[in-house]
Every structure is written in C-alpha cells, then in structure tokens.
C-alpha cells in the first residue's frame, strides 16, 4: 500500500472575534456549530456535512495578538455544491465576493473573506452545476467584509 497525506481534515483560526466568526461560518457559509471536546480554552467547532472542518480558538482573554490576516496561508478551499445559491446567499448577506471560472471551464470558484481576513475558496464542478459557463462576477459593492 502506498503512502498518502490524505485529504484536509480541518483548519484552525485563533481569533479575538469568536462570536462574529461563528456567525460568519453559520450565517454566510451555512456551516453548523457543533460538539467540541471540553478543552481548557474557549472556542467552537464548525461542521460541514457532519464533519468539524473549522476549529475556532478564542484568544480574547489572552495576551496573544490577533493576526491581521491569514499570515502565510493564502486561502482555504472547500469542494462545494450550489454555485448559484451561494452567490445569491452572499449577495443577500451583503458580502463582497469574487466568482470566476477556471480557464478550461471545468471548475467554478467563489472567493470570500471571513472576519479574520482568511480567504475562503469554494470550488464547484461545472458539470454538476448544470451549466457550461459560470458568469464571472465581482461583488465588492455590497458591503465590507
């Protein structure tokens, strides 16, 4: 049997904006706040399809500095479904986003930033979205992130 790193399990965000960050992942992306081990520090786990994919750690009561952006991590990507529905959801929430088609047309993408400056990339297989071309759209006029 060959070796494999496997698939991404989760990503972790250390934040002074726990409530705002939970709201973003629930209200904007549609993840669900769920069960989390009883760690000695506050936080939240955000679930997608029954899996805790975003781990949040509240650093508000510590001396740890809040990073102003995502550091050396440029973005985190999800394989997603419902391209048009997500674009509508983001627009209805007043979120700035960038929707584009990867050259070749097989993959559609939406980029949106969370309250901590982490760029979230949502990837959609064009064939599963019922179309051959995704309209490229930049919505930075709908509100600040």
Containing H/E element for 31?
none
Which tens digit of pLDDT belongs to each residue from 49-81?
A: 999 999 999 999 999 988 887 887 889 999 999
Mean confidence (pLDDT) of the chain: 88
Helix (H, G, I), strand (E, B) or coil at 83: helix
When pLDDT is averaged across residues 84-101 and rounded to a whole number, the result is 94
d(CA 114, CA 19): 12
User: Reduced to 3 states, what is the DSSP secondary structure of residue 33?
Assistant: strand
Enumerate the domain spans of the chain.
Answer: 7-60, 72-145
pTM of the full predicted structure?
Answer: 0.85
Q: Are 115 and 101 in contact (CB under 8 A)?
A: no
Listed residue (125, 118, 36) closest to 70, CA to CA: 118
Q: Which residue has the tokens 């550091």?
A: 71
Q: Is the pLDDT of residue 144 over 80?
A: no
142 band by pLDDT with thresholds 50, 70 and 90: very low
- Provide the 3-class DSSP secondary structure of residue 135: coil
What's the CA gap between 69 and 76, in Å, rounded? 13
Tokens standing for residue 45:
């786990």
Domain 7-60, CATH: 3.10.180.10
């Amino acid at each position: 049997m060959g070796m494999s790193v496997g698939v991404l399990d989760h990503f972790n965000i250390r934040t002074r904006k726990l409530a705002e960050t939970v709201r973003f992942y629930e209200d904007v992306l549609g993840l669900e706040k769920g069960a989390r081990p009883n760690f000695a520090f506050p936080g939240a786990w955000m679930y997608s399809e029954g899996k805790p994919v975003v781990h949040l750690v509240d650093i508000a009561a510590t001396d740890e500095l809040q990073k102003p952006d995502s550091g050396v991590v440029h973005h985190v990507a999800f394989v997603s479904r419902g391209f048009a529905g997500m674009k509508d959801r983001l627009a209805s929430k007043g979120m700035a986003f960038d929707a584009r088609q990867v050259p070749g047309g097989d993959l559609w993408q939406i980029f949106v930033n969370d309250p901590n400056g982490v760029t979230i990339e949502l990837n959609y297989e064009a064939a599963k979205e019922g179309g051959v071309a995704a309209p490229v759209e930049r919505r930075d006029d709908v509100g600040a992130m």
